[in-house]
A and B are shown apart, each in its own frame.
Chain A
């Protein structure tokens, strides 16, 4: 148990460092993520460029830091949005039952049946073209948040349904507890670990979905970096074997996704 706690501490520390590096990218590096040093393209790591440069001569360390900011700030926001939607509608369906329950579950099933990637592609294509890269990345993550709720909803719904017939809610109802008070004082505290778990699980999922979208060229717009579009540099496997430092975004992604899984408190993990 102590070892587990220690591991969680290390993971939390790693996440804090990575978050801070992303947040204060402008202080950590003096390079802009967009400046092209065209005479120094594909340069290996050096004192001037810690992770070398990409094919257009852009500093990869700067791009990784700014990419971390984009991916790690917006993925939790999208996860929060999807968890909120799942919490509200899943909780309502579980409590209300009847037609509302059937309707909400049918909507969730329908959403799960839709190929998320194609829906995202279609919605992305509908966005106006003249929006800035920042707005585009926010829009991408909002879309991820708005479309990523169904699986969380089913988990929340199943838990709420099991609570609905539980002794503590029955007792609360028998003592004349109002509906709102029952939800706020009795149901929500019991749902909290489940919602936390869904939130933590969603973050790496959204980071990876953005990476997939960027791999298809539909995620974050150039020149803004994200882990996704940095991972596109790994498409050419033999170029990577010749320049192993290009694996840095992948290593960071694996590290952060793993830390997110391990940092979950035991209570949330079992939820």
Chain B
């Protein structure tokens, strides 16, 4: 029997379409983690490396789409929340199996939630769910229905499930049986983690192809960012999940095709003055730091545009306040853009009783305005910012000393002895929701850095922030929560307890061989869509040396 010409033509056409598709599936994605993961148990995660593993291996009921910042169904096809925001009902996806073949059901959801909320487990993820006195209840009226009731209302409840990777109640592999796109196949401490494609992963693309496209992910444990960059340049790595501005700038000059700026990130750098009554500072300095006009004048005298341009090579934006403009829903768009106006700063200082004498600013009592900014040693951008602020403030007659301290000494001064005047540090924001910042804004909070752990709020505006933060946490709708948190942002802008300096851009590097990469400002920046990433043909792999 000889094949007909028509059949041959069909075969050629089929091959022509099939080959590129085959070239873009399979393969191994290779990049680095910047630390050893402390655990593979998803409910015990409290470090970035473990969180990355959880993201790649864990199956969650609801997934926060890192690009749209909207919640999407995952293992739960739909969910409803009761009016009192205490009960959430999940309708679960049917026919899903863990990586080891164990079937998934509501029982697994109940098992995971009980483990998560068990005080003996000490789960950092579980802490976000703790509300009021009493126990959480989980009911499983059907295999595909789970009803979870909390003792008190929880604001942004559904969003918290993005962090809860479901464990199997029955699998002998315990937490190593997963529902995410990959599972941990190999781990060599201090060296690498190999993740293999989960053959039972439930998700398919629009054409019905099973996800993920790639076969495996190799995560090398590499703390040294310079070595990571060197390996990326050699083509040994296919992406770098976060670059600093200098590295990014250099790489962009060498090969612009591999650099991606995802936009302004959520993290902020800020300066604040120590307003703690326990601080061993002279009373006149405490009076300066407690004066709103003084803090606002300092804010006006800082040239944030120069900080962005010189310290971050232009890959940063002046910060408006506690919420980055990248946080689409929670950012208060009515806030005024931060200004640089030394003359306005001097006018404000004059209103507060300060006067400029021979280029030296003095207070009412004649004390020269001089203070020391501390920051952590070894952080070059912060040291540069402090040095630039030193020159900016000298233009309004203020003398600033800059001191760098090792991190433990700095924390000791900030939290125990309160022996410092002003400090520059960064606020790492991994959560879009303001509830994640409760300990920063409540006057009783330990992270209320300018004056922590107050028994009662020392000022009216702090009392108002306390009230607004508590109200937003129990408000029935997201819009009401937003209105209250907008007011918090307004008060912070008026009072400047934290003088927000800049929001850094999220900078990543992606090899042209990685198809479908679309970096975002939310962690994990470069590989949030790992399940839909494809690897291009071999000649394109890596970056030119």
Q: Does the CB pair A57–B405 fall under 8 Å?
A: no
Query: Shortest beta-carbon distance, B390 to chain A, in Å?
Result: 7
B341 at the binding interface (Cβ < 8 Å): no
Q: Report the interface size for chain A: residues with CB under 8 A from the other chain.
A: 28
Contact residues in A for B107 (Cβ distance below 8 Å): none
Give complex CA distance A124, B391 in Å. 25
A26 at the binding interface (Cβ < 8 Å): no
Closest to A129 in B: B372
| Segment at the interface with B among A63-71, A96-104, A189-197, A230-238 | A230-238
**Which of A35, A131, A217, A221 is packed against the most chain B CB atoms within 10 Å?**
A217
| Segment at the interface with A among B204-212, B328-336, B375-383, B447-455 | B375-383
Q: Does the CB pair A236–B403 fall under 8 Å?
A: no
CB under 8 Å from chain A, chain B span 288-325:
306, 309-311
B377, B387, B406: the one contacting A223 at CB < 8 Å is B387
Contact residues in B for A41 (Cβ distance below 8 Å): 310
A55 at the binding interface (Cβ < 8 Å): yes
CB under 8 Å from chain B, chain A span 208-250:
216-218, 221-223, 232, 235-239
Contact residues in A for B371 (Cβ distance below 8 Å): 130
Q: Does the CB pair B374–A129 fall under 8 Å?
A: yes
Q: Does the CB pair B378–A55 fall under 8 Å?
A: no
Contact residues in A for B165 (Cβ distance below 8 Å): none
Contact residues in B for A28 (Cβ distance below 8 Å): none
B246, B384, B391: the one contacting A34 at CB < 8 Å is B391
Q: Report the interface size for chain B: residues with CB under 8 A from the other chain.
A: 32
Give complex CA distance A221, B403 in Å. 6
Q: Does the CB pair B419–A129 fall under 8 Å?
A: yes
Q: Does the CB pair B383–A217 fall under 8 Å?
A: yes
Query: Shortest beta-carbon distance, B396 to chain A, in Å?
Result: 16
B401 at the binding interface (Cβ < 8 Å): yes
- With A125-B405, A125-B406, A129-B401 known as contacts, the answer to whether A57 contacts B377 (CB < 8 A) is no
Q: Does the CB pair B402–A221 fall under 8 Å?
A: yes
CB under 8 Å from chain A, chain B span 362-418:
370-372, 374, 377-380, 383-384, 386-388, 390-391, 401-406, 409
B250, B379, B403, B406: the one contacting A129 at CB < 8 Å is B403
Q: Does the CB pair B391–A218 fall under 8 Å?
A: no
Q: Does the CB pair B378–A56 fall under 8 Å?
A: no
Contact residues in B for A119 (Cβ distance below 8 Å): none
Query: Shortest beta-carbon distance, B388 to chain A, in Å?
Result: 6
- Count A-B pairs with CB separation below 8 Å: 71
Give complex CA distance A34, B371 in Å. 18
Q: Does the CB pair B388–A129 fall under 8 Å?
A: no
A4 at the binding interface (Cβ < 8 Å): no
Query: Shortest beta-carbon distance, A257 to chain B, in Å?
Result: 25
Q: Does the CB pair A232–B401 fall under 8 Å?
A: no
- With A36-B391, A56-B384, A223-B390 known as contacts, the answer to whether A218 contacts B377 (CB < 8 A) is yes
B47 at the binding interface (Cβ < 8 Å): no
Q: Does the CB pair B226–A218 fall under 8 Å?
A: no
B267 at the binding interface (Cβ < 8 Å): no
Q: Does the CB pair A129–B383 fall under 8 Å?
A: no
Query: Shortest beta-carbon distance, B529 to chain A, in Å?
Result: 30
Contact residues in B for A136 (Cβ distance below 8 Å): 403
Contact residues in A for B383 (Cβ distance below 8 Å): 217, 222
Give complex CA distance A221, B401 in Å. 8
Q: Does the CB pair B387–A218 fall under 8 Å?
A: no
Q: Does the CB pair B386–A222 fall under 8 Å?
A: yes
CB under 8 Å from chain B, chain A span 26-61:
34-36, 38, 41, 55-57
- With A125-B409, A129-B420, A218-B406 known as contacts, the answer to whether A237 contacts B226 (CB < 8 A) is yes
B486 at the binding interface (Cβ < 8 Å): no
B421 at the binding interface (Cβ < 8 Å): yes
Contact residues in A for B226 (Cβ distance below 8 Å): 237
Q: Does the CB pair B384–A55 fall under 8 Å?
A: yes
Q: Does the CB pair A38–B374 fall under 8 Å?
A: no
Please encode chain A, from 145 to 174, with 1 for each CB lying within 8 Å of some chain B CB and 0 for all others: 000000000000000000000000000000
- With A125-B409, A129-B419, A223-B387 known as contacts, the answer to whether A38 contacts B246 (CB < 8 A) is no
Contact residues in A for B309 (Cβ distance below 8 Å): 38
A121 at the binding interface (Cβ < 8 Å): yes
Q: 19 other contacts beyond A129-B374, A239-B250, with CB at 8 A cut-off? A: A38-B306, A38-B309, A55-B311, A55-B384, A56-B387, A57-B310, A121-B406, A125-B405, A130-B371, A130-B421, A217-B377, A218-B404, A221-B403, A221-B404, A222-B386, A222-B387, A223-B390, A235-B380, A236-B250
Please, could you name 26 A-B residue pairs with CB atoms under 8 Å apart, sorted by A? A36-B388, A38-B309, A41-B310, A56-B387, A56-B388, A121-B406, A121-B409, A125-B405, A125-B406, A125-B409, A129-B374, A129-B403, A129-B419, A130-B372, A130-B401, A216-B406, A217-B377, A217-B404, A218-B405, A223-B387, A223-B391, A223-B402, A236-B246, A236-B250, A237-B226, A239-B246
For the complex of A and B, the 5 pairs showing the least CB-CB separation, nearest first, are A217-B377, A125-B409, A217-B404, A129-B372, A222-B387
